Structure 1
């Protein structure tokens, strides 16, 4: 058993592997979609090279014009101190370090952003979707691409110019609401405890049936 189709592809005996993803906690919080010129963006995850946090920061601070968006970065890792020092003079980039309760950050921000180069199963993106946050991800491979494509919950951007275009689009509260609600619906329909639990029960029942034959 593995938690994503992308992970399954790594194994030569993949036809014998069942895909059962992690469940994602449902939230009753109703996201507020407000028209804004300057968005509050949130990244939650490890601050390490393969997560692409530096290229994410670079894309955001290079946004054209005077009205810069603010990026809130939650998490710890090898690159945290290096990035804090490098961008210490840029007030739109805020580091919080490791935080246990991420709920308040998902509730207070407008868009979840990711610079990760690869994700087998993008847990934090799905958690953000469950809170009704639309997603913008930089060019990536793995589960992130399929989740965003299947859900309609956001955009994958191939370069900085496209990233800037999507940020501009999301200043419109109606567009944010459309993508945010689509992502939330997708998570509730595919990753609830009951749905994932039923997959495990079915797998176990099938295994027991095969052994009794």
Structure 2
């Protein structure tokens, strides 16, 4: 009875849906008041789109009073699960039923966030919804109503997700109007994954890099004997590798210092590694940077030691200050941003001595450092907000025009809902680990 009612509801919505409209844009974000590259770049994009659209950032949770980054003019922020009050409700005690347990942010989601997010998505009657991480994209794919255009944005890369998450991405992302990656390498990975699994692709697979945030401060004079890096203190950022490399740099250039900006769970372990190698006067854990632009403008080199990345915006931020970059050539990101030998140096992943040698090369050759710094300014200009924003505008307007050309939803919602139920009830062992759905919440949207 419930299933038939839901089928009828979506059929009615599909028949009476207004013409596709891209004026309203809603961007789903895990925690808008948090720190990190995804939050910063989402605010950056939202501010640009707000010039010509009605833009709202929908934060799934709220655990801090105010956003860490300035909210751009014309952008609103909505919170679905406000966790600041002491009483959080009974449903907050139960884990999510909709987000894969292997999703990196799974611990943020609860049954309360599931219900609030689904209710919000189902309440939309027009416009575009953009998701910014797998958990959000998967829920949007399953529950967005037929009149809504949905876009799944990948802020990391497909290969960095756990197997269960990857399998659900390939299984469900085909329902989105578009999937947008940050790099060409990741775009190719998505294409191969859909083809290998024989799953339907989304209507549009596209690559659009993040734009360079406009930072305060001027261009670096490249005179300070300081190397910096900025990011969360996590295993993936590879700061343990960088500290080991700096031990070799310090032997050759004891007058240079490394400053690591950021907070995170590995603070104590990294400090212990610094102390163990006698680098307490050479390597400094500075905590989160209040002004990234000022930090970069005071540096003569930026180093990225990550084991994996999506598209590390901090590389472009450093380049926008005329600072050359030394980076591990991890699977996606750096090689598409850095022209080796022109605006920076790429190093074979996780090689300690190679990283130390590359850093020392730029320390010892001031002319090369300045030449690369000047070229870095040119590289950063290609990622200016107006340039990247125009690509997003073209992408979104193209999705609206495509829907209009199709006359709105192109598939009977009941057909896809029935397919959804068949998948949920199948005995396929590959689906055993997937989170169960409450029977009363099983809905889906027609593919584009």
Q: What's the TM-score bracket when you normalise by the shorter of the two chains?
A: 0.7 to 0.9
Contact 1:138/1:157, CA 8 A, preserved across alignment: yes
Q: With structure 1 as the length reference, what TM-score do the two structures score? A: 0.87
The correspondence of residues 86-125 of structure 1 with structure 2, limited to 5 A, is 86-88=273-275, 89-90=278-279, 91-125=281-315
Contact 1:56/1:138, CA 8 A, preserved across alignment: no
Compared with structure 1, are the counterparts of its residues 203 and 177 closer, same or farther at alpha carbon in structure 2 (3 Å cutoff)? Answer: same
Partner of 1:48: 234
Whether 1:4 aligns to 2:183 is yes
Secondary structure class of the residue paired with 2:327: strand
Cα deviation code 1:12-39 (max 9, x no counterpart): 23783111222112457222133x7xx3
The correspondence of residues 14-93 of structure 1 with structure 2, limited to 5 A, is 16-26=204-214, 29-34=218-223, 39-63=225-249, 65=251, 67-68=253-254, 69-88=256-275, 89-90=278-279, 91-93=281-283
Correspondence for 1:202 among 359, 378, 394: 394
Correspondence for 1:186 among 362, 367, 379: 379
Compared with structure 1, are the counterparts of its residues 192 and 48 closer, same or farther at alpha carbon in structure 2 (3 Å cutoff)? Answer: same
Compared with structure 1, are the counterparts of its residues 98 and 62 closer, same or farther at alpha carbon in structure 2 (3 Å cutoff)? Answer: same
Secondary structure class of the residue paired with 2:286: strand
Contact 1:122/1:144, CA 8 A, preserved across alignment: yes
Q: With structure 2 as the length reference, what TM-score do the two structures score? A: 0.43
Larger CA deviation: 129-138 vs 96-105: 96-105
Q: Residues of 1 paired with 2:202 and 2:257: CA distance?
A: 42
Secondary structure class of the residue paired with 1:119: coil
Correspondence for 2:369 among 153, 176, 183: 176
Compared with structure 1, are the counterparts of its residues 93 and 14 closer, same or farther at alpha carbon in structure 2 (3 Å cutoff)? Answer: farther
Q: Residues of 1 paired with 2:354 and 2:181: CA distance?
A: 33
Secondary structure class of the residue paired with 2:244: helix
Q: Residues of 2 paired with 1:63 and 1:150: CA distance?
A: 21
Q: Which runs of 5+ in 1 are unaligned?
A: none
Contact 2:241/2:352, CA 8 A, preserved across alignment: no
Contact 1:26/1:188, CA 8 A, preserved across alignment: no
Q: Which runs of 5+ in 2 are unaligned?
A: 1-179, 195-200, 406-448
Larger CA deviation: 196-205 vs 107-116: 196-205
Contact 1:6/1:120, CA 8 A, preserved across alignment: no
Contact 1:43/1:72, CA 8 A, preserved across alignment: yes
Contact 1:151/1:183, CA 8 A, preserved across alignment: no
Contact 1:47/1:76, CA 8 A, preserved across alignment: yes
Secondary structure class of the residue paired with 2:284: strand
Contact 1:151/1:186, CA 8 A, preserved across alignment: no
Compared with structure 1, are the counterparts of its residues 200 and 150 closer, same or farther at alpha carbon in structure 2 (3 Å cutoff)? Answer: farther
Compared with structure 1, are the counterparts of its residues 203 and 62 closer, same or farther at alpha carbon in structure 2 (3 Å cutoff)? Answer: same
Q: Which protein has the larger Cα radius of gyration, Structure 1 or Structure 2?
A: 2
Please state how far the C-alpha of 1:179 moved relative to its aligned partner: 1.0
Please state how far the C-alpha of 1:166 moved relative to its aligned partner: 2.3
